[in-house]
Structure 1
Amino acid sequence: MKNLVPILAAVLLGAAACSSSGGGDSGGPVELVMWHGQEDSAAKSLEKLVGAFNRSHPGIRVKMDSGGATADTMLPKVTAGFAADTYPDIAYMYGSWGAALARSPKVPDLKKYVGGPKTGWNDFWPNARQTATVHGKVIGFPAVVDDLTVLYNKKLLAKAGLEPPSPDWTWEEFRSMARRLTDAGSKTYGTTWAVSGGEETTWSLWPLLWQHGGSILSADGRKAAFNSPQGVQALTLVQQMAVQDKSVYLDSTPAEKGQKLFESGRLGLFLSGPWVLSDVKAAGIDYGIAQLPGTNGDHQTVSGPDNWAVFDHGDRRVKAAVEFLTWLTQPEQQLVWMMGTGSLPTRQSVTRLPGYQDFVRRYPGIGVVTDNLANAKQIRPVTAKYPRVSGLVADAIAAVLLGRSDPKSALDDAARKSDALLAVPGQ
């Protein structure tokens, strides 16, 4: 991700301000193309919903397409589409790309469309609205909300003589449990941490930083702040677990092997979220979910909402895209999506639907994850440079956990590089 941001910015800012009128502007049904980037159960659930919309809205026809990309690779796909004028009307885009997208003339401001009661904009969770709104410009609709929690293997905890985590557990308790759950002979690990150099690596550190009173950037966003004493303290705890306790499986993939370890019954504590629940459930693991450990009673967690971004192919298609996304994100449709994927509700009112309790029963522990949204903090500072800053921090974390550096030196080095990057004019 981090290497693609300069390319995206160049294409977005260099693109001609005019937009393609495309098909559907000459009368008849408005045809929309949506690149979803979803796989497996998520793709099937979305296909079901799009089919229902097309049958009930004859004036709009939504063509659902993977875009030839996964969610992870949607950025270069859309970037290429901007350059070739083959971009879609709607695409699933990570929230971290929002600041760059907001600067593009290809991305319309939807603010005038989302104020009415039909849209129910204020029903979305605050952090989801924040991710879809960049410097006052609404770039799309919330697609997914999540937060980081801890999945635990009940069988492994019982075997180690451990009680399930309590609501007020601490990071020292997490460390102790991970140490007792580790068994080199059976290749069972207490927990895991990604060292792949991407957002998966920094994702888990930010809550520790915040709980100690630290921040990612300075208040004005112009300087790195993650190398503060609070940041060093946070990373030192993870280093102690990985290097001293050897209770951490260091995952060189984007958290894929760590998830497989949990699904195979060889990982006790898994820092993850609702996006893995359908797979964990299919694997037959008897699991529980706990909120993140806390520091002095502070259980702040990290949240990374994503968007259905809208792109400009003329007013008629933009309005049709808004109508479709308004329908797609209504509570009833959201519940269908959630039942198929284990995703959290993007709207607060979903929890008041009668069918929500069926969802909670289908995914044991999911109520804890939803309730945890109250502790969730938007992960990304509003700057197009955040993904590159995050990448620098991820490299620092990996160097520490692999024994190549110490927390202070690694974070200071990442901060120097980040400051040079942030000093360049622009968002």
Structure 2
Amino acid sequence: MRRALAAAAVLTLVATGCGGGTQDKQAASGPVEITIWHGQEDASAKSIEKLVDRFNQSHPDIKVNTESGGATADGMLPKITAALTSDSYPDIAYLYGSWAPNIARNTKTADLTEFVKDPAVQWKDFWASEREAVTVEGKVIGFPAVVDNMVVLYNKKVLAKAGLQPPRAGWTWDDFRAMAKQATDAQDGVFGTTWPISGGEEAVWGLWPMIWQAGGDILTPDHRKAVFNSTAGQQALGRLRAMAVDDKSVYLDSSPAEKGQKLFESGRLGLFLSGPWVLPDLQAAKVDYGVSPLPGTNGNHETISGPDNWVVFDHDERRVKASATFLAWLTAAEQQLVWMGDTGSLPIRESITKLPGYQDYLDKYRGIDVISANLANARRVRPATTRYPRVSAFVAEAVAQTLLGRSDVKTALDEAVAKSDAALAVPGS
């Protein structure tokens, strides 16, 4: 608490006397007004607005206005992109980490690199994957907003009915396949697991850690070539194809990824690859579930993390400083513990896990302790290139064609690599 108060005191000095409002013509003696497009819904929206109210009451030199931005988090990038063509853009917006390379190229995106060097910010208290996701070519464009990772949720009743024990420590993808096959009961409409084939990012998100675990990668280090059709990639997608086509243990979800969760909640799905965002829904549905880290390859249980960012946009220097001051406060451990308790989000700072109230948070969300500990297995993020969304779309199509039995693994991946390489070759990628 002492460190947080000291940080708040130092950061408040940054904004003191900055003056101004949302319009440049406001008197310099007034509070600095900034606008945040949070893109949150339900409990998350209520929580962020509650925290903003607390900030405004304790920081008279800054006034933060909250708006949804007219979009959910999923639709924020096109909204921001359109707003940046005029002066109607906010000071802060919630954006997915995979969008960072695209948004960093805009000249109206602020550079907070020097600001986060202030010891009061405690920048290295954020997990490495988060710092990587909010930094593009050495430029820090905002603050970490949310971190997550992929785990396996298992329905205890489904497994028990199939005569299966919960996943054991150190389990493998072969174990995963065998459990999914045994849990499948076509007559009762029960599937062992599910995989999205909707063509979106959710179709590939689970494939990447399988490839990483086996020593493969998505792109070359210089991001000029795709390499996901390596032996590791073929083995990963081959395993999924065998489960879907041969074992018939996979529900192919085209909804996107929404039907799979409903099947899990209704007791018709045994194993579900997902993350912390579904825990409140599962508890509300009174599902008897457990949580396990991903299966591993040769003892490697690497997972994937999808950090999201609070990105800052530049109207003028005063507002950039005020935005950075607000975000340093919002992402401090004490405020984050409030947010986590309201939403079930994971700790974005290591120090949060040492706060007295952290155990209450763990007690509130069953299984969140496993997911929090699994952050240690999240060692990589998706490639920081503006062409990643196109690469992802090509791989998602390959996944769908393969799991539907319309293509063999090698052909599908080779075609996706050829398309990806063509996209990556475009100047400015």
How far is the alpha carbon of 1:253 from its aligned partner? 2.0
Give runs of aligned pairs for residues 184-203 of structure 1, distance below 5 A.
Answer: 184-203=186-205
Which residue in the other structure is 1:151 paired with? 153
Kept after mapping to 2: 8 A contact 1:183/1:189? yes
Deviations 1:222-246 (A, max 9, x none): 1110011111111000001111111
Which of residues 30, 37, 40 in structure 2 aligns to 1:38? 40
Unaligned runs of 5+ in 2: 1-19
Q: Letter of the 1:341 partner, please give it.
A: T
Unaligned runs of 5+ in 1: 1-19
Distance in 2 separating the partners of 1:373 and 1:38: 23
Q: Letter of the 1:197 partner, please give it.
A: G
Which residue in the other structure is 2:23 paired with? 23
Which residue in the other structure is 1:167 paired with? 169
- In the alignment, structure 1 residue 229 sits paired with structure 2 residue 231: yes
Distance in 2 separating the partners of 1:318 and 1:194: 40
How far is the alpha carbon of 1:381 from its aligned partner? 0.9
Distance in 2 separating the partners of 1:244 and 1:40: 41
How far is the alpha carbon of 1:293 from its aligned partner? 0.1
Which of residues 329, 347, 357 in structure 2 aligns to 1:327? 329
How far is the alpha carbon of 1:84 from its aligned partner? 2.8
- In the alignment, structure 1 residue 309 sits paired with structure 2 residue 311: yes
How far is the alpha carbon of 1:103 from its aligned partner? 1.4
Which residue in the other structure is 2:302 paired with? 300
Aligned length: 408
Per mean C-alpha deviation after superposition, the further-off stretch among 46-55 and 169-178 is 46-55
Q: CA RMSD in A?
A: 1.3
Distance in 2 separating the partners of 1:265 and 1:84: 50
Give SS of 1:118's match: helix
Give runs of aligned pairs for residues 345-364 of structure 1, distance below 5 A.
Answer: 345-364=347-366
Q: Letter of the 1:321 partner, please give it.
A: S
Kept after mapping to 1: 8 A contact 2:201/2:396? yes
Q: Letter of the 1:23 partner, please give it.
A: Q
TM-score, normalised with respect to structure 1: 0.93
How far is the alpha carbon of 1:137 from its aligned partner? 0.1
Which residue in the other structure is 1:11 paired with? none
Distance in 2 separating the partners of 1:61 and 1:277: 34
How far is the alpha carbon of 1:284 from its aligned partner? 0.7
Kept after mapping to 2: 8 A contact 1:150/1:292? yes
Give SS of 1:168's match: coil
Kept after mapping to 1: 8 A contact 2:129/2:381? no
How far is the alpha carbon of 1:379 from its aligned partner? 2.7
Which residue in the other structure is 2:395 paired with? 393
How far is the alpha carbon of 1:186 from its aligned partner? 2.0
How far is the alpha carbon of 1:263 from its aligned partner? 1.8
Q: Letter of the 2:274 partner, please give it.
A: S
Give SS of 1:320's match: helix
Which of residues 410, 413, 419 in structure 2 aligns to 1:408? 410
Give SS of 1:169's match: coil
Which residue in the other structure is 2:13 paired with? none
Distance in 1 separating the partners of 2:112 and 2:245: 49
Q: Letter of the 1:96 partner, please give it.
A: S
How far is the alpha carbon of 1:21 from its aligned partner? 8.6
Q: Letter of the 1:98 partner, please give it.
A: A
Distance in 2 separating the partners of 1:352 and 1:21: 38
Distance in 2 separating the partners of 1:41 and 1:263: 20
Which residue in the other structure is 1:121 paired with? 123
How far is the alpha carbon of 1:188 from its aligned partner? 1.5
- List, as ranges, runs of 4+ consecutive aligned residues in structure 1 with deviation greater than 6 Å: none
Distance in 2 separating the partners of 1:400 and 1:132: 34
Distance in 1 separating the partners of 2:400 and 2:21: 46
Distance 1:21 1:395, change over 3 A: farther
Give runs of aligned pairs for residues 160-309 of structure 1, distance below 5 A.
Answer: 160-309=162-311
Per mean C-alpha deviation after superposition, the further-off stretch among 343-352 and 21-30 is 21-30
Q: Letter of the 1:393 partner, please give it.
A: V
Distance in 2 separating the partners of 1:372 and 1:299: 9
Distance in 2 separating the partners of 1:23 and 1:120: 31
Which of residues 335, 338, 351 in structure 2 aligns to 1:336? 338
Kept after mapping to 2: 8 A contact 1:21/1:313? no
Give SS of 2:186's match: coil
Distance in 1 separating the partners of 2:420 and 2:263: 34
Distance in 2 separating the partners of 1:263 and 1:23: 49
Kept after mapping to 2: 8 A contact 1:23/1:30? no
